[in-house]
Structures are given as structure tokens and as C-alpha cells.
């Protein structure tokens, strides 16, 4: 979701959640805050090249509206937190990590809008997903999050954990 001038853009998303089945659509639509109506976009901007939901639960791509092609993120992940600080897009954590028992990521990666390149940054102290990232001055705050992938039970010392959350709070200086 993004705002540009008088339009609020919605890109991708999910229309079906049926047990384990979830879809991911490519549709981009815009709400015009002046006319207070939804409107169609020109064909070149009406779809993202790949479906995604939960900020790309299983995708690892970044799309720029009206710019050809897709740019791969270093680490494909979904349910991540992202924000823009300065001339960079910062991304934190996420889920659907096949390499860990918890299914969550601790990755921090930034996309530079000028160089069009991704940089891999220092890992998060507590891997998690479903958090949010907000910028105040030169700091990015990332409060809380889920400690294991949604729907996943994690057994630690014989005790099963499900929907375990954290009150851990990251302050990331840019």
C-alpha cells in the first residue's frame, strides 16, 4: 500500500484463505481521495509482475510501479517489516524461513533508491515476523513481533510454543 499525490495504491494481496490454501493476486488498484472512487490504472501499472500477499509471503521481489522488471531481494521472505528512511528502503525479519525450526528470519536488508542496489546489514537480535518499522529522525523502531511462523508449533526443551510473541524492541540507527 502506498500514497502518491491524491491516490492511495493497493498492490497484490490475498482473496482466498481456505485452510492451508492462500492465493496471491497481482492486481493494483487506486482509490482517488478527491473523487472518493476506486479507479483503474493504465495497463502498464495495473498488475505487479508476480502475485504476493503479506508483503510477499513467499516472494522475494521488489517492484516499482511503471518501471519495467522486478528486482530480487537478497532473501525471499514474507510478513516482514519495512520502512523508508532517507533514500533507502529498509526491511526487517519475516517468515517462511525453511532453514530454521522457528520459520522466522533475522535478516536486515536495504534497497538504495539511487544506486538501485540491495545491501545486507547486521542481523536482528531477535528473529521475528509480523512486526512494524517506524522512522523518527535517524532511528528506525521495530517493536514486538511473532517468534515463529504463523501456524507453526515450535518445541523448545520439550515444551511446545505456538503463537509466541515478544516484547523485544529494536532501535536501528541509519
Ligand X SMILES: *[C@@H]1O[C@H](CO)[C@@H](O)[C@H](O)[C@H]1NC(C)=O
Contacting ligand X within 34-63 (CB under 6 A): 34-35
Q: For the CB of residue 16, give the shortest distance to ligand X in the complex, in Å.
A: 30
Q: Is 168 left (phi over 0), alpha (psi -120 to 50) or beta?
A: beta
What is the footprint of ligand X within residues 5-24 (CB under 6 A)? 6-7
* Among the listed residues 28, 54, 147, 149, the single contact to ligand X using CB under 6 A: 147
Instruction: State the minimum distance, in angstroms, from the CB of residue 142 to ligand X.
Output: 17
Q: Which of 27, 61, 75, 164 binds ligand X (CB under 6 A)?
A: 164
| Count of residues in the chain | 174
Q: Which is nearer to ligand X, 167 or 173 (CB)?
A: 167
- Does residue 161 touch ligand X according to CB under 6 A? yes
- The piece of 31-39, 60-68, 120-128, 134-142 that touches ligand X (CB under 6 A) is 31-39
What are the contacts of 109-114 at 24+ separation with CB within 8 A?
109/73, 109/74, 109/75, 111/62, 111/71, 111/73, 112/87, 112/88, 113/87, 113/88, 113/89, 114/87
| Nearer CB in complex with ligand X: 32/132 | 32
Strand order in the sheet with 37-39: 2-4, 7-11, 28-32, 37-39
CB of 52 to ligand X, least distance (A): 24
CB of 67 to ligand X, least distance (A): 18
C-alpha to C-alpha distance for 83 and 132, rounded to whole angstroms: 8
Residue placing its CB nearer to ligand X in the complex, 59 or 126: 126
Nearer to ligand X, 45 or 62 (CB): 45
Instruction: List interacting residues with ligand X (CB under 6 A).
Output: 6-7, 32, 34-35, 147, 154, 156, 161, 164
Amino acid at each position: 500500500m502506498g500514497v502518491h499525490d491524491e491516490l492511495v495504491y493497493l498492490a497484490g494481496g490475498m482473496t482466498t484463505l481456505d485452510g492451508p490454501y492462500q492465493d496471491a493476486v497481482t492486481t493494483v488498484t487506486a482509490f482517488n481521495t478527491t473523487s472518493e472512487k476506486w479507479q483503474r490504472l493504465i495497463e502498464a501499472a495495473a498488475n505487479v509482475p508476480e502475485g504476493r500477499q503479506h508483503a510477499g509471503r513467499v516472494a522475494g521481489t521488489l517492484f516499482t510501479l511503471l518501471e519495467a522488471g522486478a528486482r530480487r531481494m537478497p532473501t525471499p521472505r514474507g510478513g516482514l517489516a519495512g520502512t523508508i528512511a532517507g533514500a533507502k528502503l529498509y526491511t526487517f525479519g519475516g517468515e517462511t524461513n525453511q532453514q530454521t525450526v522457528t520459520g522466522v528470519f533475522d535478516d536486515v536488508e536495504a534497497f538504495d533508491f539511487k544506486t538501485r542496489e540491495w545491501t545486507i546489514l547486521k542481523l536482528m537480535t531477535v528473529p521475528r515476523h509480523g512486526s512494524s518499522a517506524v522512522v523518527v529522525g535517524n532511528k528506525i523502531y521495530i517493536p514486538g513481533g511473532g517468534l515463529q511462523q504463523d501456524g507453526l508449533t515450535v518445541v523448545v526443551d520439550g515444551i511446545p510454543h505456538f503463537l509466541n510473541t515478544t516484547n523485544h524492541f529494536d532501535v536501528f540507527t541509519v
